[in-house]
Structure 1
Amino acid sequence: MKKLLMVGLAVLIVLSFAACAKKEGGAASQAGGRYADQLYVEVSALNSLEYFYDHKEGMRLVGEDLGVKTEYTGPADYDMNAVAAAIDQAVAKKAAGIVVVGWEESLNGAINKAIEAGVPVITVDADLPTSNRPAFVGTSNYNAGLELGKWMIKKLNNKGTVAMLGMPTLSNIRDRMDGVKAAFAASGVKIVQIGDSKTDAVGSAATAAAILQKFPNLDAMMGIDSHSGLGIGNAIKEAGKVGKVLATGFDRDNSLLELIDEGVVTATVVQRTALMPYYATLILWQLHNSKVALTEDDKTAKVLNIPGFVDTGVMIVEKEQAKAFMRTKK
């Protein structure tokens, strides 16, 4: 009930702000729109991954709905120096606000520097709570892991051995794993190994293959990031263990959904990814344009009347829904 209430309130906020923006400013493409000179930029890494299609769509759509300019930028590979440079470039462009995927704490300096320059920054998808960012929008990764763990316990009838794959350097992945561990704590399901999924499906497949060889009687393998599920599925096919090892993934890449439809992978945890940059940009827009305040003068009082955390939630998708979640364009 609490989660439904939060989502409902968030939707009402979005609709009211979007309606206001359209009434007063029109679409971004319309000349003379009230907010058309405001630029909001999202910065991430690994942008060659299909996963970030939804991030790009979220930025595009919020730009249309609010009548502002939006950009999505960052390196195709995992290059934190390039991400930091892109944040600096957004500040140089006089962006009204920046949305950043909080890959790792090495980005704190660039984020704090932007905020000191007067450009608000909100993290999405992966958080950096040790930075000065005022808010985070994304999945409660611990709760997502907890939900997946409970689902797995039911599927395994409360007994069995499980391996997990993910990128252990990332805080959001560690939080998901902690949620899974908490779910398993009082159960008969045991985690026998946690493997590094590397940065793509090829690397995760190699890790999964090694685990399958090490644990020939393994009951299940759980992918905790966007590329590990595909790697696990391919490794299971290669090892001839389809139907013998229960497999799960994270997110909604078409290749993973196809494996679910084929029965190779059982399920994936789908995040409401497009809502992350959408709501983050909405909050940034609110900072500049909304009259909603906590005090007579929030600036003088040094308060920000914005939510510190917005949980966009997850759902577990199995074969019955797999085709519906496949994207028709990438």
Structure 2
Amino acid sequence: MNFIKLGALALTALMAAAPVPAFAQEDAIIMLGGPSSDPFWGAVQQGFDQATKDYGIKTQWTAPADFNDIVPIYTKMFEAAIARKPAAIAVGNFFPEPTEPLIKQAAAEGIPVIIINSGGNNYQQLGAIGFIGEDSYKMGQEGGKIAVANGVKNGLCINQIAANPVLELRCKGYIDAVTEAGGKAKMVTLASEDIGNSQKVQAAVSAMLMQDQSIDGVITLGVAVAVDALESIKQVRATGRNVDLGTMDLGNTVLEAIDAGEMSFAMDQQPFLQGYYGVMIPHLYNTYKMAPSSVVSVGPFIVTKANAADVLAVNKKFAGSRGAN
């Protein structure tokens, strides 16, 4: 795929409304990502690395080791990035209370900020040059519609990071779709420090399904939780009870499960493109003073049994580009 051509089509030759900042002191573009061990963020980093190679520019990937104490650690990472006076910063507005003042600070200091993944509703007010990501509510809503079509009447949306309003929006979209069709649904939250501990996640999901025997649909908001939830749901299905399962984000295990009919769907926000555009857009902004005139939406791309095999083939040819694992 010609990403340079694709990126050019995604942009408009439009000067940013805010005053053009002076060039920063350091010429590296810094991207603040999530743990590279996470399937989603591994794909973001692949896009980031590919754009770095394609454009031949200096960049730096910065990420926490895991999800423990994620809010203070991510905040400190952002503060350190601003202090370096880089050419630009790509950052997710996952935790608005500590993050938004820092976005404003960076913009005020003349550092172009591109927001990735989370925070598309108010990026302009914060002084960012653009947003690359998903429509979080629509991601959940589309998943809910598929679940309803599969007969779900009592759905469960499992949120693994309580402090992230984007994940809550995904659950709200799913819940609304199910309830508008005459069913019911609710959000439950796992402890973020348990993500990556399969035994704890499987035990938690099993307990949820046991507590309410009428639950017939589950949606997860990440690959790791989806894989663990699938194991719990397989045990329930062995008793003759049917539970629909869908997820946000992709990985080989998820794609194989969808192709095999064990999972219904995955809502893909195309993390590779988030990483790629997160380098490309600030680079073009610094070079040509061009920026997107609106959000750059890369999701949802819906994966079902109809196209799972094709997407899986891509992920095996370009390992991890559509999600690791």
TM-score, normalised on structure 1? Answer: 0.77
The alpha-carbon deviation at position 320 of structure 1 amounts to: 4.5
2:172 to 157, 178, 182: 178
> Could you say which residue in structure 2 is the equivalent of 1:97?
88
> Could you say which residue in structure 2 is the equivalent of 1:71?
60
Q: Aligned equivalents of 1:40 and 1:268: distance in 2?
A: 31
Residues 36 and 45 in structure 2, CA contact (< 8 A), matched pair in contact too: no
The alpha-carbon deviation at position 187 of structure 1 amounts to: 1.0
Three-state SS of the structure 1 residue aligned to 2:181 is: coil
Residues 74 and 82 in structure 1, CA contact (< 8 A), matched pair in contact too: no
> Could you say which residue in structure 2 is the equivalent of 1:254?
252
Q: Aligned equivalents of 1:243 and 1:57: distance in 2?
A: 39
> Could you say which residue in structure 2 is the equivalent of 1:154?
149
The alpha-carbon deviation at position 175 of structure 1 amounts to: 1.3
Structure of higher CA gyration radius: 1
Residues 43 and 101 in structure 1, CA contact (< 8 A), matched pair in contact too: yes
> Could you say which residue in structure 1 is the equivalent of 2:51?
62
> Could you say which residue in structure 2 is the equivalent of 1:190?
184
> Could you say which residue in structure 1 is the equivalent of 2:304?
318
Tell me how large the CA RMSD over aligned residues is. Answer: 2.8
Three-state SS of the structure 1 residue aligned to 2:176 is: helix
> Could you say which residue in structure 1 is the equivalent of 2:20?
none
The alpha-carbon deviation at position 16 of structure 1 amounts to: 10
The alpha-carbon deviation at position 116 of structure 1 amounts to: 2.8
Residues 88 and 110 in structure 1, CA contact (< 8 A), matched pair in contact too: yes
What code does the residue aligned with 1:215 have? D
Distance 1:269 1:97, change over 3 A: same
> Could you say which residue in structure 1 is the equivalent of 2:135?
140
In the TM superposition, 1:33-72 aligns within 5 A as 38-72=27-61
Residues 11 and 293 in structure 2, CA contact (< 8 A), matched pair in contact too: no
Unaligned runs of 5+ in 2: 14-25, 321-325
The alpha-carbon deviation at position 131 of structure 1 amounts to: 4.5
- Identity %, equivalent residues: 21
> Could you say which residue in structure 1 is the equivalent of 2:230?
233
Residues 143 and 246 in structure 2, CA contact (< 8 A), matched pair in contact too: no
The alpha-carbon deviation at position 53 of structure 1 amounts to: 1.5
Unaligned runs of 5+ in 1: 1-8, 18-36, 293-304
The alpha-carbon deviation at position 233 of structure 1 amounts to: 0.4
The alpha-carbon deviation at position 74 of structure 1 amounts to: 1.3
Q: Aligned equivalents of 1:83 and 1:11: distance in 2?
A: 28
The alpha-carbon deviation at position 241 of structure 1 amounts to: 5.3
What code does the residue aligned with 1:314 have? P
The structure showing larger relative contact order (alpha-carbon pairs under 8 Å, at least 6 residues apart) is: 2
The alpha-carbon deviation at position 46 of structure 1 amounts to: 3.2
Distance 1:136 1:14, change over 3 A: closer
Q: Aligned equivalents of 2:110 and 2:256: distance in 1?
A: 45
Q: Aligned equivalents of 1:241 and 1:97: distance in 2?
A: 54
Distance 1:241 1:198, change over 3 A: farther
The alpha-carbon deviation at position 122 of structure 1 amounts to: 1.6
What code does the residue aligned with 1:87 have? F
TM-score, normalised on structure 2? Answer: 0.78
Q: Aligned equivalents of 2:288 and 2:92: distance in 1?
A: 25
